[in-house]
Amino acid sequence: MEPVNLAVIYYSSTGTVHTLAKAVAEGAEKAGATVRLRKVRELAPPEAIGANPAWAQHTKDSADIAEAALDDVAWADAILFGTPTRFGNVASQLKAFIDTAGPLWQQGKLADKVCSAFTSSATPHGGQESTILALSNTFYHWGGIIVPPGYTDPVQFRTGNPYGTSHVTGAGAIGEDVLQAARHQARRVVDVAGALKAGRTVS
């Protein structure tokens, strides 16, 4: 059977979600998927970025990451979306990209894709779960198949978010448990997408 095509599409301002996205991509590749790691286009004005040293530095550090295109969405059997929380919701940069997917939706090319999400917030209870749930609203409209990590691995009992991998930036750097959770979430998505792809091939 052909490997699962998996797109990791994310927005990151200061690098936290970027780090999670790389761990997700690593987990997916180890699970046998063909992976495209893609960031969405930055929409903030240069003066806003320049006013935050961490934001400006991450913009430079991630310059070599390709920008997401609708072709990546159409190509993918499964998609993992990453976003920081913005008042308990999806960052406008990622939302703007998702909003361009209307033509694919009208052609029925978004149905039955396996979808999952990961996030970060500055504080505990800073909107992580509501952000992932907000992304799920999009997946429902697409007819996507939502695959959360749940409590399907011991690491989930240490990181504590069955909705999707998440990190509290105010608590410091991302630890190994969170990175392991991101890799596990990706493996679970690849496993489910692979089973669906195999079933379609047989039928």
Q: Is the model's pLDDT at 73 over the cut of 90?
A: yes
**Residues paired with 126 in a beta bridge:** none
- In order of start, what are the domains of the chain with their CATH numbers? 5-202 (3.40.50.360)
pLDDT of residue 1: 77
Note the pLDDT tens digit of each residue in 140-171.
999 999 999 999 999 999 988 999 999 999 99
Q: Is the model's pLDDT at 203 over the cut of 70?
A: no
- Mean pLDDT of the 82-99 span: 97
pLDDT of residue 68: 98
pTM of the complete model: 0.96
- Mean pLDDT of the 10-28 span: 98
What are the start-end ranges of the H helices in the chain?
16-30, 46-50, 53-61, 70-75, 92-98, 102-106, 128-142, 156-159, 176-202
| Residue 201 pLDDT class (50, 70, 90 cuts) | confident
* Close Cβ partners of 53 (under 8 Å, ≥ 6 residues apart): none
pLDDT of residue 3: 96
Note the pLDDT tens digit of each residue in 98-113.
999 999 999 999 999 9
pLDDT of residue 69: 98
* Close Cβ partners of 108 (under 8 Å, ≥ 6 residues apart): none
- Mean pLDDT of the 47-63 span: 95
- Mean pLDDT of the 44-64 span: 95
Tokens of 131: 């952000």
- Mean pLDDT of the 20-39 span: 98
DSSP string, 94-109: HHHHHGGGHHHHHTT-
Helix (H, G, I), strand (E, B) or coil at 7: strand
Tokens of 6: 């998996």
- Mean pLDDT of the 187-203 span: 90
